[in-house]
Chain A
Amino acid sequence: MSDLLKKLTLSVAALSISGAAFAGNGAVADEFKWMTFAVFGVIIAITMAITFWAARTTHTTSEFYAAGRSVSGIQNGWAIAGDYLSAASFLGIAGLISLYGYDGFMYSVGWLVAYITVLLVIAEPCRNIGKYTMGDILAFRNDPKKTKTVAALSTITVSTFYLTAQMVGGGVLIKTLIGIDYEISVIGVGILMLAYVVFGGMKATTWVQITKAVLLVMASLILVFMVWAPYGFSLPGYLGSVVADPDVQKQVAKLLGDKAATMTPEELGQRFLEPGLFLKNPIDQISLGLALVLGTAGMPHILMRFFTVPTAQAARTSVIWAMGIIGGFYVLTLFLGTGAAMLVGPDKIASVDAGGNMAGPLLAQYLGGGEQSLMGNFMLAFVAAVAFATIVAVVAGLVLAAASAMAHDIYVGVIRGDHATPNEQVVAARVASGIVGVIAITVGIMAKGQNVAHLVALAFAVAASSNLPAVFLTLYWKKCNTTGIIMGMIIGSLTAIGLVMISPNMTYPKAVIAGANKVLNGEPAVPAKEAAPAVERSSFMCELFALDGCVLAKPAQAATPEKPAKPGAAEKLAGLNAKLQPLEASLPTIADVTAKATAEADVAKLKKDIAAVEKAKAKAEADLKKVEGQTTSMMGLEKPFFLLKNPGLISIPLGFLMVILGSLFTRDKRAEDMWDELYVRQNTGINAEAASAH
């Protein structure tokens, strides 16, 4: 096996070098790309050495799935942080804060609070009852074959949603950072992650996650130190200069539109620290919050981490450490985000990536000395490499979770009826990891250019509506039984998926066409409006569904003056070019030095504006082409029927209700008989799976 591993290391190294040849445009300038690849190479070498070492001690099933239950509480805490802090939270939240201020920070809170549920109700009982998978916990007192099948299907569904979002996000991210082709990034991430999982199992995955978490925390601490130190680590002093920054004030003015006209620059800056610039619908936020707080505890790759520690006490320690690291990290993102807004500027951040994902990397480049400096580019390279390690570590954890469901629950538990030999089990685990890995790469490539952002929220919603009610009620409710588990899991997950399919997350061709036409053809003039009183919504259901006869709530509106028509892209381009040509032609004739400099600056600005309009035009044209000939969404809808982006508010209570109803209306002798044993064991740890001795 070690021979194979060496070959694989070589081919990955070759891939990262050949990547350089494919490199097009990215945030890293061409002459500094070698540095990024050098840092990538070092990180890949470290993780490969870990895998090589882990592979030598990974022979049994317990070693493959649970690292021999020999991971200490502190190590597991770091690994949980490494498993959980995805690129979306590392780059995405810093980006949201840099563009929208307070709302981005508020968004990060739920991701930490989620661990209270994990700590209080899930971690220790799961360690005491479980073996390798969520299916093991459910099968303890319910019908093993039925519950393992449903649990495995749910695990694979959740993991695939999350995995697809990670693969697509990772591919786009690496392309934006260093310009490697999307497909090559996806294949590179896939091969690396497969090497860790197939050869090193849980032990390699754990240590890759620990390495990544340490790198991530280090990188963030360095950046925050550099951002905050000039203010003597004073919070009001630092935030005071954030709100006084003209770039930040300009961004707020842009977000507020007409409302900004009557505000002073100080008010605009202060508005950056107040809620409401990004998150508009409080009910949607509560729905998302519910999915996060209850979904994290039902995420299979997080649950699986608790089987790697020797005791329930170590499971407790690991959540405490994870909460310290994850929470500390999110507090740091407040400084990363606002720092990027102040020093780099929201305009520039959004011009590289509209979602703001490049805020952290660009901040690193700025702090190191800027675009042209060696140090600036080294820091950008380092942050890019950490982002890459982040994607690989999260993906490895997800693949392991899906593979364990496939091999341990479905193959060993259901097909072989728990009669597989230890050797067969390990082979099955490795083969399943290979299959899931190949699926992840294929799906990642197929989903290129698709809108996958909602898949993360959907993964949490399914986990909260299907996995959590089942695990929670099995552990804490005496009457819970097989029928309830199956009903709850199936109806909970189908409701969550179904509601998202008819939600605003999907692509609605009519809206896309209208938006694109606005850019291309401009907008007609809007006549002056008289003041309108506030409108009250007709009923609460109208907040959730687009029902007939619904009136949506509207705040009172002041009278607005007539708005002139807005020109289309072609008209704008013609206007800009008409201005540019005479100006450019007059350049050589200007003798005065200062006048010439002003004229040159004007030319540069016009050229920048032209490029921006052309980019918007190209995007609108591409959008039109994408939806050509379509009038309805995938589900045959012209506009969303379900109005929230996150289904949790409906699907989570429904999941719980279905488990309860299914259990109350049927009787299951085994579930009743096993209750005493389950309850005593989850509280005392008697007969829990022991750590294997090394």
Chain B
Amino acid sequence: MSNPNVNWVAIDTNPKFQALHRKKTFFLWGLMVFSIIYYFLLPIGAAYYQDLFKIKVWGVVNVGILFALSEFVVAWTIAFVYSRKANAEFDAMAQDIINDVNNGRMK
């Protein structure tokens, strides 16, 4: 795969690479912002919405416990969603660009 004479500017400005860049940026920032907001809801809720966190919903299990457990589920879901998207879409788009570079179509 090693190719010392790659024209990086050409790849960067190529529509295929730009498409990959756009898709990735939008997707990654979306997930990142969502996960940070969701995480900080926990300490904020525990500090300022204690009455809500204390409501018992399932035996002695209260909203606070369920919300803390949901943090784990949400983190795992984000990991799952990202890896599916990356495996199915980003990797294929990157491979397409690499093939073009190796075949000399992107110079």
Q: A residues within 8 Å of B by Cβ?
A: 102-103, 105-106, 109-110, 112-113, 115-117, 119-121, 235-237, 239-240, 242-243, 270, 273-276, 279, 282, 285-286, 289, 293, 313, 316-317, 319-320, 323-324, 327, 330-331, 676-677, 679-681, 683-687, 690
Given known A120-B82, A276-B46, contact A109–B3 (CB-CB < 8 A): no
Q: Are A282 and B48 in contact (CB under 8 A)?
A: yes
Q: Are A323 and B54 in contact (CB under 8 A)?
A: no
Closest to A234 in B: B59
Closest to A290 in B: B40
Given known A240-B60, A289-B43, A687-B6, contact A112–B50 (CB-CB < 8 A): no
Q: Are A684 and B97 in contact (CB under 8 A)?
A: yes
Q: Are B62 and A274 in contact (CB under 8 A)?
A: yes
Q: Are A240 and B43 in contact (CB under 8 A)?
A: no
A275 to B54, CA, bound (A): 8
Indicate the member of B6, B50, B65 with the most A CB atoms within 10 Å: B65
Indicate the member of A109, A236, A330, A331 with the most B CB atoms within 10 Å: A109
Q: Are B79 and A677 in contact (CB under 8 A)?
A: no
Q: Which of B12-26 contact A (CB under 8 A)?
A: 12, 17, 20-21, 24
Among B1, B8, B24, B44, the residue within 8 A (CB) of A676 is B8
* Shortest beta-carbon contacts, A-B, top 10: A236-B59, A282-B47, A275-B46, A677-B8, A676-B8, A676-B12, A285-B43, A113-B39, A116-B35, A684-B94
Indicate the member of A102, A117, A680, A683 with the most B CB atoms within 10 Å: A680
Q: Are A327 and B28 in contact (CB under 8 A)?
A: no
A683 — which chain B residues lie within 8 A by C-beta?
A: 17, 20-21, 24, 94
6 chain-A/chain-B pairs, Cβ below 8 angstroms: A113-B35, A239-B61, A239-B65, A279-B46, A676-B12, A687-B3
A113 — which chain B residues lie within 8 A by C-beta?
A: 35, 39, 71, 75
Q: Which of B85-102 contact A (CB under 8 A)?
A: 86-87, 91, 94, 97-98, 101
A372 to B3, CA, bound (A): 68
A320 to B80, CA, bound (A): 8
Q: Are B46 and A112 in contact (CB under 8 A)?
A: no
Among A106, A117, A313, A684, the residue within 8 A (CB) of B42 is A106
A319 — which chain B residues lie within 8 A by C-beta?
A: 79
Indicate the member of A112, A274, A684 with the most B CB atoms within 10 Å: A684
Closest to B90 in A: A683
Name the distance in Å between B102's Cβ and chain A's nearest Cβ: 9
Closest to B70 in A: A109
Name the distance in Å between B6's Cβ and chain A's nearest Cβ: 6
Q: Is the interface of B mostly helix, strand, loop or mixed?
A: helix
Q: Are B31 and A120 in contact (CB under 8 A)?
A: yes
A341 to B82, CA, bound (A): 38
Q: Are B75 and A112 in contact (CB under 8 A)?
A: yes
Name the distance in Å between A426's Cβ and chain B's nearest Cβ: 23
Closest to A327 in B: B72
A676 to B12, CA, bound (A): 6
Name the distance in Å between A286's Cβ and chain B's nearest Cβ: 6
Report how many residues on chain B are interfacial, defined by Cβ distance under 8 Å. 54
B98 — which chain A residues lie within 8 A by C-beta?
A: 684-686
Q: Are B39 and A110 in contact (CB under 8 A)?
A: yes
Q: Are A105 and B43 in contact (CB under 8 A)?
A: no
A684 to B12, CA, bound (A): 11
Name the distance in Å between B107's Cβ and chain A's nearest Cβ: 13
A690 to B60, CA, bound (A): 54
A680 — which chain B residues lie within 8 A by C-beta?
A: 6, 8, 11-12, 17
B31 — which chain A residues lie within 8 A by C-beta?
A: 116, 120
Q: Which of B29-51 contact A (CB under 8 A)?
A: 31-32, 35-36, 39-40, 42-44, 46-48, 50
B94 — which chain A residues lie within 8 A by C-beta?
A: 683-685
Closest to B78 in A: A116
Q: Are A323 and B8 in contact (CB under 8 A)?
A: no
Name the distance in Å between B66's Cβ and chain A's nearest Cβ: 10
Given known A677-B8, A683-B17, A684-B98, contact A237–B76 (CB-CB < 8 A): no
A121 — which chain B residues lie within 8 A by C-beta?
A: 28, 32
A533 to B54, CA, bound (A): 25
Q: Are B43 and A282 in contact (CB under 8 A)?
A: yes
Q: Are A120 and B32 in contact (CB under 8 A)?
A: yes
A275 to B55, CA, bound (A): 12
Q: Are B39 and A289 in contact (CB under 8 A)?
A: yes
Q: Are B1 and A275 in contact (CB under 8 A)?
A: no
Closest to B1 in A: A686
A327 — which chain B residues lie within 8 A by C-beta?
A: 72, 75-76
Q: Besides A110-B39, A276-B50, A327-B75, 9 other CB < 8 A contacts?
A: A106-B46, A239-B59, A275-B53, A286-B43, A293-B36, A293-B39, A313-B87, A316-B83, A684-B97
Q: Are A240 and B59 in contact (CB under 8 A)?
A: yes
Q: Are A686 and B101 in contact (CB under 8 A)?
A: yes
Among B12, B46, B59, B101, the residue within 8 A (CB) of A679 is B12
A319 to B75, CA, bound (A): 12
Closest to B7 in A: A676
A373 to B70, CA, bound (A): 39
Name the distance in Å between B28's Cβ and chain A's nearest Cβ: 5
A113 to B28, CA, bound (A): 15
B46 — which chain A residues lie within 8 A by C-beta?
A: 102-103, 106, 275-276, 279, 282, 285
A275 — which chain B residues lie within 8 A by C-beta?
A: 46-47, 50, 53, 64
A679 — which chain B residues lie within 8 A by C-beta?
A: 12, 21
A331 to B65, CA, bound (A): 11
Given known A119-B79, A239-B65, contact A285–B47 (CB-CB < 8 A): yes
Among B6, B20, B53, B97, the residue within 8 A (CB) of A274 is B53
A324 to B24, CA, bound (A): 23
A106 to B72, CA, bound (A): 11
Q: Are A273 and B62 in contact (CB under 8 A)?
A: yes
Q: Are A117 and B32 in contact (CB under 8 A)?
A: yes
A293 to B94, CA, bound (A): 28
The answer to the question of B2 belonging to the interface, with a C-beta cut-off of 8 Å to chain A, is yes
Q: Are A274 and B68 in contact (CB under 8 A)?
A: no
Name the distance in Å between B87's Cβ and chain A's nearest Cβ: 7
A677 to B65, CA, bound (A): 47
Closest to A323 in B: B79
Q: Are B12 and A273 in contact (CB under 8 A)?
A: no
Q: Are A236 and B82 in contact (CB under 8 A)?
A: no
B47 — which chain A residues lie within 8 A by C-beta?
A: 275-276, 282, 285
Q: Are A274 and B54 in contact (CB under 8 A)?
A: yes
Name the distance in Å between A686's Cβ and chain B's nearest Cβ: 6
Name the distance in Å between A230's Cβ and chain B's nearest Cβ: 16
A330 to B60, CA, bound (A): 21
A276 — which chain B residues lie within 8 A by C-beta?
A: 46-47, 50
Q: Are B61 and A236 in contact (CB under 8 A)?
A: yes
Given known A243-B60, A282-B47, A683-B21, contact A119–B8 (CB-CB < 8 A): no
Q: Are B68 and A106 in contact (CB under 8 A)?
A: yes
A327 to B2, CA, bound (A): 38
Name the distance in Å between A331's Cβ and chain B's nearest Cβ: 6
Given known A116-B75, A331-B72, A683-B21, contact A235–B58 (CB-CB < 8 A): yes
